[in-house]
Amino acid sequence: MTKTTIPVHLDINGRDHDLQLEPRVTLLDALRDRLGLTGTKKGCDHGQCGACTVHIDGERVLACLTLAAQVEGRTVTTIEGLAREGEMHPVQAAFLEQDAFQCGYCTPGQIMSAVACIREGHAGSDEEIREYMAGNLCRCGAYPHIVAAVRQAALEAAS
């Protein structure tokens, strides 16, 4: 086989990974198919649904529209890396308490978006939360509970 792959070094959730990938492999497929990190979901593969939201250098990014090779030298955080020392992140705890999900498939993306939304300072009101969480679709219709969870976690973060 002709040499069509390149070495890619990834820093994911504080761990180093060395992969040999075709340049066209997305970060999403690298996470799911090469590294077994399937918490990041594929809903549309076209940046339309938000299920694949991860953090790159702390900012929310769609992993399906990001090539794995693009994140060399940057830090990637996925849903698997959000809890610290076994303690759920406050946003995760709020999602559970508020029942902010049903099937759970959009949930990792919602949570990664919510963490960033609060960090960005975009969780000041329910209206603002709705707007800044609008890029993450939830077909089960957990939206009112997602807003409640983000509001709760934002208040906890501020206190």
Partner 1 sequence: MTVHNIRHGDASDGAFAEAVGGRLSRIDGPAKITGAAKYAVEQQLEGLAYAVLVESTIASGKVRAIDTTAAEVAPGVLQVLTPDTIISLKTAADWFGTPPPDKPYCPLARDITFSGQHVAAVVAETFERAVAAAALVKVSYEETPAIVDLSDGKAGDGIAIDAMTKEWGDAQGAFASAPVRICAAYNTPREYQAPMEPHGLIARWEGDRLTVWEPSQWLDGMARTYAEWFGVPFENVRLVSPYIGGGFGSKALALSHGAVAACAAKMLGRPVRLVMTRPQTFTGYGGRAATRQTVTIGADVQGKIQSIVHRGVNETSIDGMWVEPLGSVTSIMYTTPNFSSKQNVVRVNSVVPGAMRAPGENPSAFGIESAIDELAYEVGIDPLEIRLRNYAEQDPHAKKAWSTRQLREAFAAGAERFGWSRRTPEPRSMRDGNQLIGWGVAAGTYPVRRAYGEALVRILADGSVEVESSSIDMGQGTYTILAQTAAETLGVRADDVVVKLGDSRFPRAGVTGGSRLAGVMTGAVYKAATSALDQLVGLAISDPRSPFHALQANTLVVANGRIASPRGDGPDVSVAELLKSVGRDHIEATGDTMPANSTPEDRYKNYTTIAMSVPHTEGDYSRHSWCAHFIEVRVDEDFGTVRVSRVVSALDSGRLYNPKLAESQWKGGIIMGIGQALLEEGIVDRRHGRIVNNNLADYLVPTNADIPDIEVISVGIPDLHSSVLGGKGVGELAIVGVAPAIANAVFHATGKRIRDLPITLEKLI
Instruction: Return residues touching partner 1 (CB under 8 A).
Output: 1-2, 4, 22, 24-25, 29, 32-33, 36-46, 48-49, 51, 78-80, 82-83, 88, 92, 95-97, 99, 101-108, 111, 126, 129-131, 133-147
At 157, give phi and psi (nearest 5°).
Answer: -65, -35
Q: What angle do CA 42, 47, 48 make, to 5 degrees?
A: 90
At 112, give phi and psi (nearest 5°).
Answer: -65, -40
What is the Cα 108 distance to its own chain's centre? 6
**CB-nearer residue toward partner 1: 13 or 75:** 13
| Min CB(34)–partner 1 separation in Å | 9
The enclosing H or E element of 96 equals: helix 90-98
| Min CB(26)–partner 1 separation in Å | 9
**CB-nearer residue toward partner 1: 66 or 107:** 107
| Min CB(44)–partner 1 separation in Å | 4
**CB-nearer residue toward partner 1: 8 or 37:** 37
| Min CB(65)–partner 1 separation in Å | 12
**CB-nearer residue toward partner 1: 96 or 155:** 96
**Six-digit token string for 92:** 């995760």
- Residue 13: closest CA among 108, 78, 73: 78
At 95, give phi and psi (nearest 5°).
Answer: -60, -40
**Six-digit token string for 159:** 């206190």
| Min CB(117)–partner 1 separation in Å | 10
